[in-house]
């Protein structure tokens, strides 16, 4: 039932009218990706980067400026060829950010609505509704008005409604963002389990990285309408394609320097203090170029045991105890970086001298001009 989704060079330009006049702005800029049948892909990016617009183009709710959307081998959107199948004929499911459950209907009426539109009647309709409500564990609430449900339950109604007719693809637009933190954690796991059990192809959009990692088979990181990197969560976290992806996924320490030499996968970077740092090279960069080295605070080791490379002398300038972890500001290599240590006991005082270990395989070199 579920199909492959192919998005090719999708572009959507909005005309925005401001006080200065109207301006053109590409909300989605040349985005291409493919989702295999039964796969969950999560688009991740800060607010306003074009995630919703991409999703709405796939749904047919937005008309892209150019590009192609192919679902299960059939072209659904191709403005150049004048193809634009309306949403109602796409057989897609969509969960909206505001849930968009119809407040004047009961849970059952909400879920049965798409079936009625498709002419599914009688026992077939009843069975499908029952199965869908079972799936989201809302059978006991079937005849309640939806306005009497909690946010989490409304979200489940929206999910049941979008899956009850076994759509080719399920689209989800930040479905958890209106829920409180606790519920969000629980539903996040439920959501993946439910989608996987049905075996749907899903495109999921969020700005929350932990949500993305848990839910997605693959993640795509977006910025300013562009898809920067689309890969497995582990690849995104361990070899971010550029400085933005690195920063967005938590590599917030950035050390400026100049590439001195490179040796296979690793390069040597001279930093402000004159010391040399070894780091992984993801890009082809010529020696002599200004570069930035990015690494995650939790990869910074303070007073590491044994001998090793990339060890530097530094000092703790401040410490922020956070209960189960401690964040230190460390002055090292002529700059300031953060180090994070897990554990409920803070090991170092302010102004203490420490050896700072920067594991070379966790440091990534990026060109400074990007």
Partner 1 sequence: MVDTGAASLTASEKAGLDKAGSDRIGVTRAWVPWAWSGFLIAMLAFLVLYPTSMLLIGALTTTNPVVEGYSLADISIGNFLAVVMNPNVAAALGNALIACAGGTAVAVAIGLAFAWVVVRTNTPCKGLIASAGMLPLFVPPLVAGVAWSILGSPKTGLLNLLLNKAGIPFRFDLYSMPGIIFVFGIYYAPYVYMFTAAALRNMDPALEEAAEISGASATRTMATVTFPLIMPAILSGMLLSFVVMLGIYGIPAVLGAPANISVLTTYIFALTAWSPPRYNTAAAVAVILMIVTGVLVYLQQKIVSGRSYTTVAGKAFRPRPLNLGKWRFLTLGLAILYLFVVVVLPTIALFIAAFRKFLFIKDIPALFEAKQYGWQHFIKMFDNPLTIASIINSIKVGIITAIVGGLLSFAIGYTITRTRAPGRRMIDVITTIPVAIPGLVIGVAYLWAWIGLPGGLYGTLWILALAFVARFIPDTVKALSTSLLQIHRELEEAAWICGRGTLSTIASIVLPLARPGVVAAMTLLFILSMRELGSSLFLYSSGTMVMAVQLLGYYEGGNIGITAAFSLVQMVLLGVLISFTNWLSRPGRGSGAIKPDIAPTGVVRSG
Ligand X SMILES: Nc1ncnc2c1ncn2[C@@H]1O[C@H](COP(=O)(O)OP(=O)(O)O)[C@@H](O)[C@H]1O
Only one of the segments 30-38, 42-50, 74-82, 226-234 lies at the binding site for ligand X (rule: CB under 6 A); that segment is 42-50
Q: Which of 3, 52, 155, 229 binds Mg ion (CB under 5 A)?
A: 52
Q: How far is the CB of 118 from Mg ion (least distance, A)?
A: 28
Name which of 27 and 160 has its Cβ closer to ligand X: 27
Confirm if 67 and 10 have CB atoms less than 8 A apart: yes
Binding mask 53-92 for ligand X (x = CB under 6 A): x---------------------------------------
Q: Is 54 in the site for Mg ion (CB under 5 A)?
A: no
The partner in contact with residue 94, picked from ligand X, partner 1, Mg ion, none with C-beta cut-offs of 5 to 8 angstroms by kind, is partner 1
Q: Is 27 in the site for ligand X (CB under 6 A)?
A: yes
Q: Is 227 in the site for ligand X (CB under 6 A)?
A: no
Helix (H) or strand (E) holding 68: strand 66-71
Q: Which of 5, 51, 245, 316 binds ligand X (CB under 6 A)?
A: 51
Name which of 47 and 89 has its Cβ closer to ligand X: 47
Phi, psi of 333 (to 5 degrees): 55, 30
Record the tokens describing residue 353, joined without a space. Answer: 């001298």
Name which of 205 and 354 has its Cβ closer to ligand X: 205
Q: Is 96 in the site for ligand X (CB under 6 A)?
A: no
Q: Are strands 83-84 and 74-78 parallel, antiparallel or unpaired?
A: antiparallel
Q: Is 209 in the site for ligand X (CB under 6 A)?
A: no
Q: Is 48 in the site for ligand X (CB under 6 A)?
A: yes
Name the residue among 23, 352, 153 with its Cα closest to residue 161.
153
Distance in Å from the first CA to the final CA of the chain: 42
Q: How far is the CB of 352 from Mg ion (least distance, A)?
A: 45
Binding mask 204-223 for Mg ion (x = CB under 5 A): --------------------
SS3 content of the chain, % helix, strand, coil (to 5): 30, 40, 35
Rounded Cα gap, residues 218 and 230, in angstroms:
7
User: Contact positions toward partner 1, by CB under 8 A?
Assistant: 59, 61, 86-94, 96-104, 113-114, 117-118, 147, 158, 161-162, 165, 178
Q: How far is the CB of 222 from ligand X (least distance, A)?
A: 7
List alpha helices for 150-242, DSSP H. Answer: 151-163, 181-198, 209-215, 233-238
Q: How far is the CB of 54 from ligand X (least distance, A)?
A: 7
Only one of the segments 51-59, 181-189, 190-198, 344-352 lies at the binding site for Mg ion (rule: CB under 5 A); that segment is 51-59
Q: How far is the CB of 293 from partner 1 (least distance, A)?
A: 41
Q: How far is the CB of 48 from Mg ion (least distance, A)?
A: 8
Rounded Cα gap, residues 244 and 111, in angstroms:
41
Q: How far is the CB of 27 from ligand X (least distance, A)?
A: 3
The partner in contact with residue 100, picked from Mg ion, partner 1, ligand X, none with C-beta cut-offs of 5 to 8 angstroms by kind, is partner 1
Only one of the segments 2-10, 43-51, 227-235, 328-336 lies at the binding site for ligand X (rule: CB under 6 A); that segment is 43-51
Per DSSP, 300 falls in state P
Reduce the DSSP state of residue 53 to 3 states and report it: helix
Name the residue among 87, 42, 29, 46 with its Cα closest to residue 63.
87
Rounded Cα gap, residues 354 and 300, in angstroms:
12
The partner in contact with residue 27, picked from Mg ion, ligand X, partner 1, none with C-beta cut-offs of 5 to 8 angstroms by kind, is ligand X
Each as own residue / partner, the long-range contacts of residues 138-145 (CB below 8 Å, 24 or more positions apart, any chain) are 138/107, 141/107, 142/106, 142/107, 142/108, 143/106, 143/107, 143/108, 144/106, 144/107, 145/103, 145/105, 145/106
Rounded Cα gap, residues 99 and 114, in angstroms:
15
């Amino acid at each position: 039932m579920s199909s492959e989704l192919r998005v090719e060079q999708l572009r959507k330009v909005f005309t925005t009218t401001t006080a200065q006049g109207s301006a053109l702005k590409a909300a989605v800029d040349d985005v291409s990706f493919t989702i295999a049948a039964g796969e969950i892909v999560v688009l991740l990016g800060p607010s306003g980067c074009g995630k919703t617009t991409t999703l709405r183009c796939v749904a047919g709710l937005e008309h892209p400026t150019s590009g192609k959307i192919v679902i299960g081998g059939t072209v659904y959107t191709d403005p150049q060829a004048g193809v634009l199948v309306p949403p109602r004929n796409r057989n897609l499911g969509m969960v909206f950010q505001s849930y968009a459950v119809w407040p004047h209907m009961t849970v059952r009426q909400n879920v049965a609505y798409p079936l009625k539109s498709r002419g599914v009647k009688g026992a077939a309709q009843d069975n499908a509704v029952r199965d869908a409500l079972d799936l989201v564990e809302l059978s006991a609430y079937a005849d309640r008005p939806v306005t009497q449900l909690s946010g989490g339950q409304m979200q489940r109604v929206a999910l049941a409604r979008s899956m009850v007719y076994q759509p080719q693809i399920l689209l989800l637009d930040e479905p958890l963002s209106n829920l409180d933190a606790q519920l969000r954690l629980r539903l996040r796991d439920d959501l993946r389990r439910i989608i996987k059990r049905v075996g749907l192809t899903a495109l999921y959009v969020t700005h929350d990285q932990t949500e993305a990692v848990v839910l997605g088979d693959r993640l795509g990181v977006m910025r300013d309408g562009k898809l920067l990197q689309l890969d497995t969560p582990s690849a995104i976290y361990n070899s971010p394609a550029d400085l933005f992806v690195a920063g967005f996924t938590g590599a917030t320490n950035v050390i400026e320097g100049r590439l001195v030499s490179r040796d296979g996968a690793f390069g040597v970077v001279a930093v402000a203090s004159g010391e040399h740092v070894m780091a992984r090279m993801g890009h082809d960069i010529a020696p002599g170029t200004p570069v930035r080295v990015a690494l995650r605070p939790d990869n910074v080791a303070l007073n590491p045991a044994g001998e090793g490379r990339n060890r530097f002398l530094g000092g703790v300038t401040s410490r922020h105890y956070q209960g189960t972890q401690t964040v230190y500001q460390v002055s090292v290599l002529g700059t300031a970086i953060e180090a994070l240590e897990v554990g409920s006991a803070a090991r170092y005082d302010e102004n203490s001298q420490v050896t700072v270990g920067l594991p070379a395989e966790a440091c990534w070199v990026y060109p400074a001009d990007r």
